[in-house]
Structure 1
């Protein structure tokens, strides 16, 4: 709030205080009551006078500012005219077909500066317009308040001089406010006109910038495949000497403090406070990188390097490069956000050097870790030679970047330097592969036996890269040769990380398989699905990440990547339906997520939500199964939608499905509906003990088509659900787990039946699993052929009934033996006859039994 606004607020408060005084300055008011309101009028008049003086000073200042702005309008017009001339010059340059790529990049830099400057001017002018609009609104409110005060004075009809003074002051203040409002409107009109001019310039420059970017991209493609005269043939010693002198001058400038001070000041001029903010952001990024580096070290210390050597190697490689990786990403993000990569030679060189250092560091650290973890002393020279060439090549390529940005792509010294590097790389290949072949001939490693094609493949690839680059250079395709080497270098780094990712995933799969083999089955069923989904998702990331990385390594731009995904989204007609590869991928992902989600949701419901709910075990299983069916139904509908099935297509498909159910799938559909009936009606439930055709078993799972019964012999019976609906099933656990079991025992004739009954009841009462209510009972069943039959009836539960029967029989046999109660067994009388009926009346010989004599044998 400004001083004038505070003053006007005080005036308004005083005015309200005056109006709040009843009967102010009426004729009949006693003099003693008049003095206080009159003092309020005086104070109000004094405040108004101060406000009027402040407004006069402010009005005078506004007048001077308006004159200054009108004088500055000429300078602004000259700036606009110069900017438009610059746009015309850039447009004329674009019409020249012989313009080099360096000139186009310079024009791009100046054009971006023009766009940024115009955008900054527009933003500043719009902010000033907003402030002026707010001031005009405040003036309008003040004028309205003054008018209300004048009307109030008129209605009061005060004849005191102080009242007339107040009215005059209010009129003067209103005139001042009107003049101030007019000048503010002049300011607003001026700013609006300037903002419109700068905004038009910005739009024109942005359109020209888009055309220039298109022209540069086209020129890059043309230069890449444009053949020129062999630069080595037309190179002169004078050109090389001149370039060397230029390099010496640049080195001398680089050793001076003023050179770097000028660069820093230029960056500060471009960025301003944003540079300080960016520097603080860089410090935060590096701090986070070092922080995560500690986490990586802690994770490495807990890793089994022998069980997961490749994962430990990849983690160690990432850990070593985290600070450099953070700096590289930040540099590229900063230059891209500020559009400085194409305009600032210093920042572009810095980004290229950081990327070169990062990629070479990955290669060196990988070879070092490979040598430490996988010892192969005989072929250690392979790692040593490659490390030397990477370490030396890093510095040589950094010098090449600096020369290119300092002297330009067409510099004679740069061409000579590049050709020297290419020839040196070809010579190194010849020496390296000759020595490697000699070592392999003396003693090849075991993994290379029968795989000599691997050596020839790598050797041919290395020779091919080196020789093609040299031939392209000699043929005049200098830019294409550079692109060839750079792309292969990037591809090697992408291949390195793909290889590490592949080996790490393979180790992870093997570790999980080993852990799953020793894990409990219930835990494995719930966690195995998530591990399976994680592994498959990571393999998809490996596939698509590798494809994208290789595309970017070979210079794929955003348009090519978009075209790649458009290809995946291209419809493939099949009859009246259109399928898309991307839709099939989405459908597979939805199916996998549905599979894992159903598993985990059922596990969560069973072990978390319903575990202590008090519901029956079978009811819990029904809720879990129905929830899984509902989730699968939603997933299948989502899959059909991802595949491109519309509502009409789904109607036709379900209609065809209905016809199929009516003919060929009757049994399947019958079993499915029967399964739903079992889940909702629950005549049998999971955990019930049932009897089918004399076979006892426990219900383990009710599936969509069939039910799994596990017998007491641990055999699994898979029975269609329809048989439980249409057939007869004995459910020993239905609604009540209690069951009565009968044990028959026969005692010899002559036994004390009262003692037998009391003994059987005593044995039943001493068993802990026999229910006390209903009480055990003993029945005297029958008089058998060889025994008196008794039946002991006891109540127990279904899960332990067989064990209870066995225990009672053991106890009966033991106690009966102790108490002398004989357990009878069957007896058989055998009658033997000697002789025939014709001799039946012949008297028997002495000492021999006569015919018809019987012998009783106990069998």
Structure 2
């Protein structure tokens, strides 16, 4: 139905015509009285133009840096050509790409600053052109009207100043345009370099399916020890120099990382001071209390976990060394945050990570690095196979951060990929083995870090939600589980998306996946005159989903935070909440259709089609919808009311767009169309107020004092806590019954939801009071009177005289 609506709305209207071109109005000259004022304004504008045309320190710095940058770019391009001429791995290509992307970002920053200056100068030129036209019209009018020479001279002087200012601005524009052209050339050279890297990456990916090394059993003998030491020393030194050079450069986010770590450390110190007052027997805060005893480790984990947001495009050695720095504090935090059964896995992953870093350092020694890669992948495969043993995964699962089914699926996928990577390495497909095997291992390392950060975040959430400050918020005080579940669910989704984003980058397929998804969603499908993209329905659904979630959040905040603080008639909060929901959904629908470019002039056609549908088969749904609006605004029945419809008794739990839900007192939920609540007779026991009268009937034996019985009944009613004092209880002597004097006790209660319980309690109290007073509660009985003697068998039929007693055993009939 959504796709059909898109098709109908997207069709162009037959009556649409191109807009007519309207000629601009002729320039309006200034009045002679306005010439001095306008001349002063022009002078201020010329001063602003003079400031814009003066040399700028920022532009001068860009000019100087661009000269050195052009020489560096030429050297980097020569080095890139030499690198591409050799055998380069995908990881090496990623490093080259990051370096050139950083150069492109530098040029982009310069171009952005330059474009701002150019935009200001262009705006100034346009202002000069508009004012020149009016000043020239003013001069022409002054000549035609033979105005005084002083006025004409002031106009000519204004035009001369305007021309001089325009020349200065034009000259500065020429200089900036030349600089912009130079930056465009640098950006073009950087783009060509990136294109060459992308082309080589595609070639390398295609070559992954071709063996580039001999099989593992044909490798020569291992390298000598001195060669190994030299390789370790050279690679470690080069990585350290690159690390120091990066963090010494102005583009390194040193201040942000340090500020984040220090801020996290201060927050942890404050929380640790407050944790001293926590109850020792509170199991929910015990783990958080243990974590707070390691403030520096938690601060480093919190700060360095955010580092990928700033250093994602940094050189590979920077990322690797930061991982080593993060390893120790992450282990200290995770050792507290995870169950004891997971401790061994943490130590094993740390050992794997260190072994992998060692393998990366000896990468120039191809044969040894290859053997180490096979050993690392084999150990990882053995660990996963051991983890897949029966019920082992359920016992070792990561502290409820993932479902067992998902963890089982990921583990099995890891086993398959690791087995394929080992087989590829043995057969000589070394690059394919590195891509697949390192992808699995690094994704596992990343998953542990993300799960640790998620667990730390959940502990902080428990701390914050349990604090006295948070308890002042009504939705946290009255709905803590709902708030905690919503936040935890959001944190879990955020962690999963972060892991997926970086995991795709680890496998070197993120750009390809994002590009393919973007291309697929942007594919146009022509249906008649409508050009529809495949992503448009998904965009509409996504916007409506966001609108629904936003409506749910706002309604929850209103119902918990706002409505209890404002005095309103019963039913008004529900009406406001429902109308807010409808309004947000309609607004979301409008935004969704606007986002996909659907014209709203076709809405009349859609409404006409809906009218035809209503005429044929949608009468009942529309009737129920309109009845729902009547219930919402007129409020004859409200949520929480106790109603009776025929034989149905219960409480109204929901009033929806089509139907309402009534929960009966025996637990059944009955779905009632809204039209029935409007058109049929409905008894609402709680429409105007929540009070309800309970009538209780009693009977006492004849001969009992009625006033005494009435006093006892009123005494029992007055001592019951749920009976209202106003209206007062009333005990009435109703009538003389067949076997009892009949009384009725009438009481009012304010809690109609428990009127049966109240009725039962009053009945018990009355029974106790009558028993203590010695008043008999009779049961129905009948007195039988005979019209003729019992001894007259003719008149009475069969004899009703008592039968003689039966003889006792052992005696003879007829006497003793």
Give me the TM-score of the superposition, normalised by structure 2: 0.55
Q: Which residue of 1 aligns with 2:558?
A: 605
**Corresponding residue number in structure 1 for 2:358:** 392
Aligned position for 1:630: 583
- Point out the more displaced range, 830-839 or 672-681: 830-839
| Post-superposition CA distance 1:659-701 (Å, at most 9, x none) | 3333333333222222221222222223333333355433333
2:779 maps to 825
Q: Offset at 1:828?
A: 1.2
Report if the CA contact (8 A) 1:426-1:467 is conserved: no
Alpha-carbon deviation of 1:423?
Answer: 0.9
Partner of 1:289: 261
Q: Which residue of 2 aligns with 1:519?
A: none
Q: How does 1:221-236 map to 2 (within 5 A)?
A: 221=198, 225=203
Secondary structure of the residue aligned to 1:610 is helix
- The answer to whether the 8 Å contact 2:359/2:369 transfers is no
Alignment of 1:689-704 (within 5 A): 689-693=642-646, 696-704=649-657
Query: Measured at CA, do residues 423 and 782 of structure 1 come closer, stay the same or move farther in structure 2, by a change above 3 Å?
Result: same
Contact 1:709–1:717 (CA under 8 A) maintained in structure 2 = yes
Q: Distance in 1 between matches of 2:450 and 2:520?
A: 26
Asked if 2 retains the 8 angstrom alpha-carbon contact of 1:533 and 1:593, the reply is: no
How many residue pairs are counted as aligned between the two chains?
608
The C-alpha deviation readout for 1:450-502, integer Å capped at 9, x for no partner, is: 9997786355344356468x668xxxxxxxx6x99589757743553246547
Q: Equivalent residues in 2 for 1:441-456 (5 A)? A: none
1:33 aligns with none
| CA positional deviation for 1:725 | 1.6
| Shift in CA distance, 666/505, structure 1 to aligned 2, threshold 3 Å | farther
**Is 1:213 aligned with 2:190?**
yes
Matching residue of 1:27: none
Mapped partners of 1:562, 1:547: distance in 2 = 16
Note the 1:683-694 alignment, pairs <5 A. 683-693=636-646
Which residue of structure 1 aligns with residue 141 of structure 2? none
Partner-residue secondary structure (3-state), 2:189:
helix
Matches within 5 A, 1:464-483: 466=425
Gaps of 5+ in 2: 1-62, 86-95, 122-162, 215-226, 276-282, 394-407, 466-474, 805-816
Equivalent residues in 2 for 1:324-473, closer than 5 Å: 351-359=315-323, 386-387=352-353, 389-396=355-362, 418=364, 420=365, 422-429=366-373, 457=416, 459-463=418-422, 466=425
Deviation digits for residues 191-242 of structure 1 (CA, Å, limit 9, x no counterpart) = 998x788657535533443443344334445666499xx999xxxxxxxxxx
8 Å CA contact 1:529, 1:599 repeated in 2: no
Q: Is 1:497 aligned to 2:446, yes or no? A: yes
Cα deviation digits, residues 608-654 of structure 1 (max 9, x gap): 33324333323333333333333333334444555665425554444
Q: 1:189 to 1:805 in 2, by over 3 A?
A: closer
Distance change in 2, residues 1:639/1:816 (3 Å): same
1:716 has 2:716 as partner: no
- Cα distance in structure 2, aligned partners of 1:471 and 1:842: 119
Task: For 1:192 and 1:653, locate their aligned partners in 2 and report how far apart those are by CA, in whole Å.
Answer: 54
| 1:733 match: secondary structure | coil
Q: Equivalents in 2 of 1:613, 1:827: separation in Å?
A: 60
Deviations 1:355-414 (A, max 9, x none): 3423566679889999997779999997687455334335445xxxxxxxxxxxxxxxxx
**Is contact 1:698-1:709 (8 Å) kept?**
yes
Cα pair 2:718 2:725 within 8 Å, conserved: yes
| Distance in 2 (alpha carbons) for counterparts of 1:439 and 1:776 | 78
CA distance in structure 2 between the partners assigned to 1:383 and 1:802 by the alignment: 64
Match of residue 663 from structure 1: 616
- Structure 1 partner of 2:38: none
The 1-side partners of 2:387 and 2:716 are apart by 83
Gaps of 5+ in 1: 1-78, 130-184, 233-243, 337-350, 398-417, 473-480, 517-521, 850-859
Q: Relative to 1, partners in 2 of residues 1:509 and 1:526: Cα closer, same or farther, differing over 3 Å?
A: same
SS at structure 1 position matched to 2:653 = strand
Q: Is the 8 A contact 2:791 2:801 kept in 1?
A: no
Matches of 1:363 and 1:822 in 2, distance apart?
A: 86
Higher deviation after alignment, 382-391 or 599-608: 382-391
Does the aligned pair in 2 maintain the 1:696–1:711 contact within 8 Å? yes
**Cα pair 1:748 1:823 within 8 Å, conserved:** yes
1:202 lines up with 2:179 in the alignment: yes
Question: For each residue in 1:425-456, what CA deviation from the matched residue of structure 2 results, as whole angstroms up to 9, or x when unmatched?
Answer: 22234556778999999999656899997786
Residues 378 and 771 of structure 1, relative CA distance in 2, 3 Å threshold:
closer
- Once the two structures are superposed, the pairs formed by residues 101-180 of structure 1 within 5 Å of their partners are none
Question: Match of 1:734?
Answer: 687
Once residues 816 and 804 of structure 1 are traced to their aligned partners in structure 2, the CA distance between those partners, rounded to angstroms, is 18
CA distance in 2, matches of 1:843, 1:210: 129
Please say if residues 591 and 635 of structure 1, whose CA atoms lie closer than 8 Å, have aligned partners that are also in contact. Answer: yes
Q: How much is the aligned-residue C-alpha RMSD, in angstroms?
A: 6.7
Residue 616 of structure 1 aligns to a residue in which SS? Answer: coil
Deviation of 1:90 (Å): 8.0
The alpha-carbon distance between structure 1 residues 330 and 607, as it changes in their structure 2 partners (threshold 3 A), is closer
Give the corresponding residue for 1:614. Answer: 567
Larger Rg: 1
8 Å CA contact 1:357–1:394 kept in 2: the answer is no
Q: Give the distance between the partners of 1:365 and 1:684, measured in 2 at CA.
A: 60
1:746 partner SS: strand
- 1:743, 1:805 within 8 Å by CA — same for their partners in 2? yes
Q: CA deviation at 1:743?
A: 3.5
What TM-score do the two structures reach when normalised by structure 1? 0.53
Partner of 1:340: none
SS in 1 for 2:564: coil
Residues 654 and 662 in structure 2, CA contact (< 8 A), matched pair in contact too: yes
Q: For 1:587 and 1:646, how far apart are their aligned partners in 2?
A: 14
Q: Is 1:526–1:600's contact at 8 Å kept on the other side of the alignment?
A: no
**Residues 1:548 and 1:317: Cα distance change in structure 2 (over 3 Å):** farther
CA offsets, 1:695-752, max 9 Å, x none? 5433333222333333344443333222222222222223244444444333434444
In 1, Cα distance between equivalents of 2:499 and 2:695: 72
Structure (1 or 2) with the greater helix fraction: 1
Please say which of residues 667-676 and 732-741 is displaced more in the overlay: 732-741
Paired residue secondary structure (1:735): coil
Summarize the Cα distance change of 1:649–1:691 in structure 2 as closer, same or farther, 3 Å threshold.
same
Q: Match of 2:551, SS?
A: helix
Cα deviation for residue 568 of structure 1 reads 2.9
